[in-house]
Amino acid sequence: MSLVADARILFKLLRGMPSSGEAASRLEGFYAGQAEAYDAFRERLLHGRQELIQQLQLPDNAYVVELGGGTGRNIDFFGDKLNQLQQYQIVDLCPSLLEVARKRAKQYPNVSVAEADACTYQPQSPVDCVIFSYSLTMIPDWQSALNNAQSMLKPNGKIAVVDFTLSKQQNSLISVFWRKWFSHDGVHLNSDQPQRLQAMFPHGEYIEKFAKVPYLPFVRVPYYLFIANQSY
């Protein structure tokens, strides 16, 4: 962690997500200038990613797609298991983050990167697993992204999601605070997302947790992990 890198990220977070333009250019406007320092800062903000990957049980030669994969940070959480995958496809709309993902992917012949929209991207063949890691809350038409994810899964494929949410365990004032705080940066919290996931994939496991946020020592943000099979 470097204070200068943190200051650059905090400046971008304070400026927020541009409010006009196409999705890709808004994302680029937000992430350009923070892409190189993205991973170090998000390590302290995006909790549960390693846990999600470690809990995933995948068949040998699995084909995995991450929608909104950003810098590809999650591939490191696979460790040696990454070699057992047939393919790990990182899909994202933001060129600056994908540049970091491409550098990271160079050392892995089975990792590829696609600049595409999570709502419309389709893989070459049905996949064993789709991952959303803190991307659903950033995708305005998240219902389309979920429908698209479901459409690309093999009959026994898996969906794995980790993201921020609003919790019934926190009072409504705190929920209003989180909603406002995150929406400034293009992250739209709502409790409909986990509900929709559980309706689409009724046999999944849903866990809600609370995590620290950098530079906000007195609050805890709710996030959830969800893993489900397409069919049970």
Ligand X SMILES: C[S@@+](CC[C@H](N)C(=O)[O-])C[C@H]1O[C@@H](n2cnc3c(N)ncnc32)[C@H](O)[C@@H]1O
Distance (Å, whole) CA 118 – CA 104? 21
Cβ-based burial of 2 (10 A; exposed 0-12, middle 13-18, buried ≥19): exposed
- The answer to whether residues 213 and 221 touch, using CB atoms and an 8 Å cutoff, is yes
- The only residue of 63, 92, 127, 153 in contact with ligand X, by rule CB under 6 A: 92
Is residue 133 a contact residue for ligand X (CB under 6 A)?
yes
Is residue 135 a contact residue for ligand X (CB under 6 A)?
yes
Is residue 146 a contact residue for ligand X (CB under 6 A)?
no
**Segment interacting with ligand X (CB under 6 A) among 8-16, 112-120, 152-160, 200-208:** 112-120
CA distances from 193 to 10, 94, 114, 137, 225 (A): 27, 23, 25, 8, 12
- The only residue of 56, 58, 64, 93 in contact with ligand X, by rule CB under 6 A: 93
Distance (Å, whole) CA 119 – CA 220? 30
Is residue 27 a contact residue for ligand X (CB under 6 A)?
yes
- The only residue of 34, 74, 89, 175 in contact with ligand X, by rule CB under 6 A: 74
Cβ distance to ligand X smaller for residue 148 or 167? 148
Q: Where are the beta strands (DSSP E) in the chain?
A: 63-67, 87-92, 111-115, 127-133, 153-164, 205-213, 216-229
- The answer to whether residues 158 and 131 touch, using CB atoms and an 8 Å cutoff, is no
Is residue 68 a contact residue for ligand X (CB under 6 A)?
yes
Helix, strand, coil fractions of the chain, as percent rounded to 5:
40, 25, 35
Is residue 69 a contact residue for ligand X (CB under 6 A)?
yes
The distance of closest approach from Cβ of residue 197 to ligand X in the complex, given in angstroms and rounded to an integer, is 16
Is residue 73 a contact residue for ligand X (CB under 6 A)?
yes
- The only residue of 46, 58, 161, 166 in contact with ligand X, by rule CB under 6 A: 46
- The only residue of 53, 56, 97, 227 in contact with ligand X, by rule CB under 6 A: 97
What size, in residues, is the chain? 232
- The answer to whether residues 153 and 227 touch, using CB atoms and an 8 Å cutoff, is no
Is residue 23 a contact residue for ligand X (CB under 6 A)?
yes
Is residue 117 a contact residue for ligand X (CB under 6 A)?
yes
By CB under 6 A, how many residues form the interface with ligand X?
23
AA identity, residue 68: G
**Segment interacting with ligand X (CB under 6 A) among 9-17, 103-111, 128-136, 213-221:** 128-136
Q: Which residue is nearest to ligand X (CB)?
A: 70
Contact positions toward ligand X, by CB under 6 A? 23, 27, 42, 46, 49, 68-70, 73-74, 91-94, 97, 117-119, 133-135, 138-139
